[in-house]
């Protein structure tokens, strides 16, 4: 089954050698240029980055930390829409030990991060969220337009509106907001999306980490929060802001875990948390217009044994009238996937009154269903997956690709056809074909496209084609992109010297014909990083990628007071300057002399 005809791959670039070092590497004949780094000023009057005297005020005017999702939205009046547009970028989380000088001490041979003060927390909050930046390609190179009226930072304190079925519900009301309709900020924005009407989607993923404290005994939200791991106390924000302490503001966590939509063409537009799309640890929300004009959003919920969702708008998209689309996300049907052993998929409606979704189980209104999306999906018998991350519809071949990162906790008796490996260390990719090629269908078929991992180790059970070289295999698929030709590109999170003898990177994966399941390494990241946000310009001539948490686990910047504990693997990418820390950054990849990427 794995034998393929040679030379039938849709990709014809010279493969990068898999490995590990302090720099990034792209296929020969391409340039990989750093476009936006953590701290880069985004406005004409924004301060230059000074890592030794950073402030929240400066950070809120500069590119944020840990870039994840990247989207490109052409400007409608651009001379060439593929060379002039808005780059929208999520800033998922902060790595304090890499950001703040002198806060790490080695105690008993282990690094320990000093407790936060309010100043540090305020910088962290300003480094989260998203960036909207006007960019333009001139003489083959992309540049930030620093005085653009579109440029914007969205942070953990930006005012947002709650919309859809849960807006205003008592479970979303707090002391600061008795209306349950006004919330400040967005956190842990992992992947995201760009809608057909040109809005920017940020998905709130691991929001549980921002809450601390203990719920009052027998609190009615106890079951809800337990299912989501709230509170987790990863961050110390609750020591300075009551809303992040559940003992003081028990309803605040119900205002996070949503899909957020922003109009990037109006820098004063209020971002909207669209509750109709459910409340989970959302990975992303990639969309496509179905045959009848309704818009379908595919949603991963990144946790072991959680689910794949899709949302179908009630109304059709109107390509002639952008304003008519601006609240499409407030009405529609949310579904969760059941992958059956016969190769069919059933999309189960998360709708009040459907089977167990009624008052007996605590679902009194649709607001209860969306607030407790996971518990509702549990009751419907959805299939528990191996960390569903990016889910990407392919408009060219009509299929849908599901990245399943891994799940080492799956036991032998928990294996099912859609999650076929116990102790799944390297993840897999599922391909869905919706019934009659209709993305809005409530049924379809599925198959495993690829079991990831090293194909030379028999017990791993990887299924890359035999054409795949030792550089071409990967583990831990996380994000993906489909280029204009309909080809699949997969980025990873979790490859390392120890796990796979390589860094994370971007692999081009054939899905069609003889070459199906052939994979080639196109780009790899510096040590410690993962690769996020792959996205193409509409002409396929630029590929944007986000280098997230470079140097994590290998940091050694003396100014930051931390001796290296992986000295030989540390990096100061991308500046390589003694007075500059390692910085997450977005990279623009183009072909030398012009042309399509990966052609």
Which residue lies nearer to ligand FEO by CB, 96 or 303?
Answer: 303
If phi > 0 it is left, if psi is from -120 to 50 it is alpha, else beta; for residue 218 that is left
User: Is 478 an interacting residue with respect to Ca ion (CB under 5 A)?
Assistant: yes
Binding partner at 390 among ligand FEO, Ca ion, none, C-beta below 5 to 8 Å by kind: Ca ion
Least CB distance to ligand FEO at residue 285 (A): 13
Q: Tell me if residue 44 falls in helix, strand or coil.
A: coil
Among 15, 245, 330, 493, binds Ca ion (CB under 5 A): 493
- Choose the contact partner of 124 out of Ca ion, ligand FEO, none; CB within 5 to 8 A by kind: none
Encoded tokens for 373:
């999306």
Summarize as ranges the residues that interact with ligand FEO (CB under 6 A). 92, 190, 205, 283, 302, 389, 478
284: helix, strand or coil? strand
In whole angstroms, give the CA distance from residue 185 to residue 133: 19
Q: Round to whole Å and give the CA distance between 211 and 13.
A: 46
> Smaller CB distance to ligand FEO: residue 155 or 280?
280
Q: How far is residue 408's CA from residue 586's CA, in Å, rounded to a whole number?
A: 31
CB-wise, 302 or 330, nearer to ligand FEO? 302
**Whose structure tokens read 């080809």?**
487
State the nearest-atom distance from the C-beta of 270 to ligand FEO, in Å: 25
Distances (CA, A) of 267 to 88, 132, 198, 568: 12, 9, 14, 44
As measured in angstroms, the least distance from the Cβ of 72 to ligand FEO is 20
Query: Among 178, 240, 176, which residue's Cα sits nearest to residue 210?
Result: 240
540 binds Ca ion (CB under 5 A): no
Please tell me whether residue 134 binds Ca ion under the rule CB under 5 A.
Answer: no
**Residue 302 Cβ vs Ca ion, minimum distance, rounded to whole Å:** 6
At residue 101, φ and ψ (nearest 5 deg) are: -65, 140
Residue placing its CB nearer to ligand FEO in the complex, 520 or 549: 549
Q: Would you count residue 390 as binding Ca ion (CB under 5 A)?
A: yes
Under rule CB under 5 A, residue 306 binds Ca ion = no
CA distance 597 to 428: 25
- The option from ligand FEO, Ca ion, none interacting with 587 (CB < 5 to 8 A, set by class) reads none
Closest residue by beta carbon to Ca ion: 493
**Smallest gap, in angstroms, from Cβ of residue 374 to ligand FEO?**
15
Nearer CB in complex with ligand FEO: 166/385? 385
Report yes or no: 400 and 380 within 8 Å, Cβ to Cβ.
no
The reply on whether position 249 binds Ca ion by CB under 5 A is no
Beta strand 294-301 with 189-194 is: unpaired
Could you tell which of ligand FEO, Ca ion, none binds residue 431, using a CB distance below 5 to 8 A set by kind? none
Q: Report what 254 binds from ligand FEO, Ca ion, none; CB cut-off 5-8 Å by kind.
A: none
Question: Which of ligand FEO, Ca ion, none has residue 205 at its interface (CB below 5 to 8 Å by kind)?
Answer: ligand FEO
User: What stretch of H or E contains 191?
Assistant: strand 189-194
Q: Are 519 and 463 in contact (CB under 8 A)?
A: no
Least distance CB 189 / ligand FEO (angstroms): 9
Is residue 179 within 8 Å of 168, Cβ to Cβ? yes
Cα→Cα distances 367→162, 179, 335, 363, Å = 12, 15, 15, 8
- Beta strands 110-113 and 104-107 are antiparallel
Q: Is 122 near Ca ion (CB under 5 A)? A: no
Q: Where does this chain touch Ca ion (CB under 5 A) — which range of 134-142, 159-167, 189-197, 309-317?
A: 189-197
- Taking the least distance from each CB to Ca ion, the nearer of 367 and 509 is 509
């Amino acid at each position: 089954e794995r034998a393929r005809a040679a030379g039938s791959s849709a990709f014809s670039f010279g493969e990068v050698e898999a490995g590990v070092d302090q720099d990034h590497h792209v296929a020969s004949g391409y340039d990989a240029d750093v476009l936006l780094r953590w701290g880069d000023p985004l406005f004409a009057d924004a301060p230059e980055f000074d890592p030794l005297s950073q402030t929240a005020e400066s950070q809120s005017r500069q590119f944020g930390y840990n870039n994840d999702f990247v989207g490109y939205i052409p400007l409608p009046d651009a001379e060439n829409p593929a060379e002039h547009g808005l780059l929208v970028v999520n800033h998922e989380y902060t790595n304090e030990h890499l950001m703040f000088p002198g806060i790490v001490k080695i105690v008993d041979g282990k690094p320990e991060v000093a407790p936060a003060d309010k100043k540090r927390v305020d910088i962290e909050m300003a480094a989260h969220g998203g960036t909207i930046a006007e960019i333009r390609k001139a003489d083959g190179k992309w540049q930030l337009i620093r005085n653009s009226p579109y440029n914007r930072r969205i942070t953990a304190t930006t005012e947002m509106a709650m919309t859809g079925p849960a807006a205003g519900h008592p479970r979303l009301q707090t002391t600061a907001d008795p209306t349950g309709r006004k919330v400040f900020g967005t956190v842990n924005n992992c992947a995201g999306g760009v809608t057909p009407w040109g809005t920017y989607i940020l998905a709130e993923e691991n929001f549980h980490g921002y809450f601390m404290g203990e719920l009052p005994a027998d609190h009615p939200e106890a079951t809800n929060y337990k299912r989501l791991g709230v509170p987790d106390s990863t961050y110390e924000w609750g020591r300075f802001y009551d809303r992040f302490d559940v003992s003081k503001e028990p309803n605040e966590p119900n205002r996070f875990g949503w899909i957020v939509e922003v109009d990037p063409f109006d820098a004063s537009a209020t971002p909207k948390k669209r509750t109709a799309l459910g409340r989970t640890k959302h990975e992303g929300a990639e969309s496509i217009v179905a045959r009848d004009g309704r818009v379908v959003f595919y949603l991963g919920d990144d946790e072991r044994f959680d689910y794949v969702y899709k949302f179908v708008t009630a109304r059709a998209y109107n390509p002639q009238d952008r304003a008519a689309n601006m609240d499409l996300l407030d009405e529609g049907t949310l579904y969760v996937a059941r992958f059956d052993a016969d190769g069919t998929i059933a999309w189960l409606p998360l709708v009040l009154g459907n089977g167990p979704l009624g008052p007996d189980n605590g679902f009194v209104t649709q607001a209860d269903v969306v607030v407790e999306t996971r518990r509702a999906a549990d009751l419907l018998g959805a299939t528990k997956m191996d960390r569903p991350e990016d889910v990407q519809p392919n408009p060219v071949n009509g299929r849908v690709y599901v990245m399943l990162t891994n799940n080492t906790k799956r036991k032998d008796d928990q294996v099912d056809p859609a999650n076929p490996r116990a102790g799944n260390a390297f993840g897999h990719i599922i391909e869905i074909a919706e019934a009659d090629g209709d993305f809005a269908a409530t049924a379809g078929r599925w198959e495993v496209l690829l079991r990831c991992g090293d194909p030379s180790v028999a017990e791993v059970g990887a299924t890359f084609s035999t054409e795949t070289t030792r550089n071409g295999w990967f583990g831990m698929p996380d994000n993906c992109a489909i280029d204009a030709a309909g080809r699949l590109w997969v980025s990873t999170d979790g490859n390392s010297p120890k796990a796979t003898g390589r860094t994370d990177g971007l692999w081009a994966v054939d899905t069609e014909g003889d070459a199906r399941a052939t994979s080639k390494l196109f780009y790899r990241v510096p040590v410690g990083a993962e690769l996020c946000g792959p996205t193409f310009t509409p002409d396929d001539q630029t590929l944007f990628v986000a280098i997230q948490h470079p140097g994590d686990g290998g940091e050694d910047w003396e100014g930051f007071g931390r001796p290296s504990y992986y000295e030989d693997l540390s990096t100061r990418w991308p500046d390589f300057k003694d007075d500059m820390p390692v910085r997450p950054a977005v990279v623009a990849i183009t072909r030398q002399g012009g042309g399509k990427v990966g052609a």
